[in-house]
């Protein structure tokens, strides 16, 4: 429920001046107003002169960092930042996490959570795993999900963190295609807003009952103004305006191709797609004789299926390169958690393909007598 903004900012101030502060980020802007800096980050540091609060700000062109002493100096600096019309605050202390978003009506949407404490790691063991989104985060109380699913989502978020620039600022529009129960949708929103970004996220799923369920979850979490859902196919669902970032986690078979094709048509800046099953090219491989000298690759059924997986994702990455993206295929989670553990990660460069790249792609599809679904969608 919305809260008075002044009271919420007073609570933020207390956390920012708390000796237990670990990190805070302010970003975004309120309706009709613009702060003098696009982002501010606070964290405790220890210098030769003693403990300090480091305040890093950016005007969008270059960063500026200063260190202030706890006490009156820090209080003045914090009050100056709170006076700025930031649209979002994310504050973490050793004991609590607070997220504040200023609504269009000037009220505060506040989410509070206790910081999960991890058990000490026994001597001789590796240190405890650090999660981008703690498995104890209370959003999982609302959205559910097995431990395996939470590990997959956290691994996907790590790949996302490695894809987005560290200095990314400003509004970010995201779409999650084939969102299903929206585990990734909600987790991505939580993570991205935690970075201080002004995020608007749309989840797309073909089932109307999923849209209703996920919309109700967004309302319970207090995110309904920023996280919305539409029912429709990946290929045809109405998403407007076009997103900056496209996500697709385990969209089955050619649904991944539809997600990649929409991302290309939208000129999305970043794309992360974890493919699921690969039936389309497997069927095409069975329909044609294997070119020499590769008969051994496809003689055994299990090897033919695995080769079809590799060929499908290699051609998807090649097609993205032909359409102005730098694409790579990486493992995003250990295979013990899911056998479908590859991720196509792409960043739009706008660079046109070379003749050699076109020829490389064409030679491969002609040799194997296949027509990738993504090629058909983009032609």
- pLDDT category of residue 314 using cuts at 50, 70 and 90: very high
Map out the domains of the chain as residue ranges: 2-114, 138-378
- Mean pLDDT of all residues in 267-276: 94
pLDDT at residue 196, as a whole number: 82
The band of 49, judged by pLDDT with boundaries at 50, 70 and 90, is confident
Q: Say yes or no to pLDDT of 367 above 90.
A: yes
Helix (H) or strand (E) holding 272: strand 270-275
Neighbouring residues of 155: CB distance < 8 A, sequence distance ≥ 6: 332, 333, 337
- Residues, the chain: 379
pLDDT at 143: 81
What angle in degrees, to the nearest 10, is found between the helix axes of 255-266 and 301-322? 10
Percentage, residues of the chain above pLDDT 90? 53
Write out 70-110 in H/E/C secondary structure.
CCHHHHHHHHHHHHCCCCEEEEEECCEEEEEEECCCCCEEE
- Cα 47 from Cα 21, distance rounded (Å): 16
Strand order in the sheet with 21-27: 63-68, 50-58, 39-47, 21-27, 88-93, 96-102, 108-114
Does residue 308 carry a pLDDT above 70?
yes
Any idea what the Cα angle at residue 65 is, between residues 61 and 71, rounded to 5°?
145
Question: Rounded CA gap, 142 and 339, in Å?
Answer: 27
Which tens digit of pLDDT belongs to each residue from 217-245?
999 888 888 999 999 999 999 999 999 99
**Distance of alpha carbon 218 from alpha carbon 297, whole angstroms:** 48
Closest C-alpha among 373, 124, 159, 146 to residue 254: 373
Residue with tokens 């980020």: 25
166-194: average pLDDT: 90
Res. 283 pLDDT band, cuts 50 70 90: very high
Percentage of the residues of the chain whose pLDDT score is greater than 70: 91
Q: Which CATH architecture has domain 138-378?
A: 3-Layer(aba) Sandwich (3.40)
- Specify the DSSP class assigned to residue 354: P
**32's torsion region: left (phi>0), alpha (psi -120 to 50) or beta?**
left
Residue 286 to residue 281: CA distance in whole angstroms: 9
SS3 6: helix
User: What tens digit of pLDDT does each residue of 75-131 get?
Assistant: 999 999 999 999 889 998 988 889 898 988 899 988 887 754 444 434 334 333 567
- Identify the band that residue 338 occupies on the pLDDT scale cut at 50, 70 and 90: low
What is the rounded average pLDDT for all residues in the chain?
87
The confidence band for 5, taking pLDDT boundaries of 50, 70 and 90, is: very high
Of 80, 82, 152, 171, give the one whose Cα is nearest residue 333: 152
According to the model, what pLDDT value does residue 121 have? 39
CA angle 5–6–7, rounded 5-degree value: 90
Closest CA to 9 of 91, 114, 129: 91
- Quote the pLDDT of residue 123: 38
Q: What local confidence, expressed as pLDDT, does residue 213 receive?
A: 94
- Please answer whether residues 43 and 54 qualify as being in contact, where contact means their C-beta atoms are separated by less than 8 angstroms: yes
Q: Hey, is 372 helix, strand or coil?
A: coil
Q: Would you list the DSSP string of 107-134?
A: -EEEEEEEPPPPPPPPTTSPPPPPPSS-
Q: How far apart are CA 190 and CA 156, in angstroms?
A: 13
pLDDT in tens, 122-176: 433 433 356 777 666 667 777 877 777 777 888 888 889 889 988 888 799 999 9
């Amino acid at each position: 429920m919305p809260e008075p903004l002044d009271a919420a900012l007073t609570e933020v101030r207390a956390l920012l001046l708390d000796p237990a502060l670990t990190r805070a980020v302010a970003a975004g802007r309120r309706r009709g107003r613009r702060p003098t800096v696009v982002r501010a980050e606070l964290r405790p540091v220890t210098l030769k002169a003693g403990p300090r609060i480091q305040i890093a700000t950016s005007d969008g062109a270059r960063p500026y960092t200063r260190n202030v002493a706890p006490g009156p100096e820090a209080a003045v600096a914090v009050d100056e930042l709170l006076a700025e019309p930031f649209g979002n605050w994310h504050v973490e202390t050793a004991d609590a996490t607070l997220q504040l978003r200023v609504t269009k009506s000037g009220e505060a949407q506040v989410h509070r959570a206790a910081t999960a404490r991890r058990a000490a790691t026994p001597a001789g063991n590796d240190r405890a795993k650090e999660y981008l989104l703690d498995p104890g985060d209370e959003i999982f109380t609302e959205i559910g999900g097995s431990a395996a699913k939470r590990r997959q989502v956290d691994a996907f978020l790590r790949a996302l963190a490695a894809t987005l620039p560290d200095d990314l600022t400003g509004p970010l529009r995201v779409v999650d295609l084939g969102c299903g129960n929206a585990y990734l949708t909600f987790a991505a929103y939580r993570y991205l807003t935690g970075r201080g970004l002004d995020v608007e996220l749309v989840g797309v799923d073909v089932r109307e009952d999923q849209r209703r369920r996920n919309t109700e979850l967004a309302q319970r979490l207090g995110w309904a103004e920023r996280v919305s859902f539409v029912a429709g196919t990946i290929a045809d669902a109405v998403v407007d305006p076009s997103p900056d970032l496209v996500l697709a986690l385990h969209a089955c078979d050619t649904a991944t191709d539809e997600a990649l094709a929409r991302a290309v048509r939208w000129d999305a800046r970043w794309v992360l797609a974890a493919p699921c099953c690969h039936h389309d090219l497997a069927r095409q491989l069975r329909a044609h004789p294997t070119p020499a000298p590769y008969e051994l690759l496809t003689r055994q059924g299990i090897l033919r299926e695995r080769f079809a997986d590799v060929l499908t994702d290699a051609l998807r990455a090649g097609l993205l390169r032909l359409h102005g993206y730098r694409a790579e295929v990486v493992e995003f989670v250990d295979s013990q958690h899911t056998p479908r553990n590859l991720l196509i990660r792409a960043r739009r460069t706008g660079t046109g393909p070379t003749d050699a790249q076109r020829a490389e792609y064409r030679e491969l599809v002609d040799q194997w007598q296949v027509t990738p679904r993504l090629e058909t969608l983009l032609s």
